[in-house]
Structure 1
């Protein structure tokens, strides 16, 4: 079986390791750039590499939830990378205050803390998957790629007011999804 640009998503959803290797080869550059930009201030290559690995593992473990084509997948994996980097930043910024330090000087994290961080990231990605494709793209550009509303509007061919409106409605929709209700 040969993994190609046309079939990698299908095979990734079937948890085929060859598809994961294809995804790593294809997207390592963009994932590394996103994570490096977010974590470069920590000046620790090990943290960056760990976050890159977590990104690809997260994509692999959650592939069945992905809906879309190759371009959507690129945005999706970039979103995962940004979230993993944000999660890592939060952990690192809180480490001295909320975690015990062992005799080697490493932060000791509880299983509960690890679970909460992982589940909140996965929950947000799942909630975002329930938004319309355009709204997912807008949220990704705004909150994960840190684009300005004007840039998003230009990219999507919409007005800035339309982007503002979609962001506002999208946030309300995510709140409804989070609270278990539905909003038409």
Structure 2
């Protein structure tokens, strides 16, 4: 819709002009606002912002400035600026609320031992890296046997081997894994 078309509609009927403007640019404005506010705003906040944008355009667009150019740039600029203002307002409110609760959060204790959890995660990472260093099919045999708790027969079927071969390779791979882990200070 061009500025001239909008002004002509507005002269005939302001309601028709508003409805035509909304119908033509609603999706465009919604996309701009949603992309800016989706992380901080509720659905109601987004809808209110969109309504405010169309009110700004409806009351702020003057027939003197009307041109044959598309109104998309004008509406996009208003939408972007209004969405940024709402974003700033909402994040300031959330920051203010979080500042008040920071002191309360300091008084809450946790039964989780972060240091122990971190050590366990690091040990798991080292263990998986060392298992991968064993190469195939030994790494698969160890993971299937000790992580997935599969029997030698099930692993043999999976790898197209004999169960006795899987058991022998598992024992050798476990010994090799123990020696690899000894160098890192981890004992099985």
- For this structure pair, what is the TM-score category when the shorter chain's length is used for normalisation? 0.3 to 0.5
Q: TM-score, normalised by structure 1?
A: 0.45
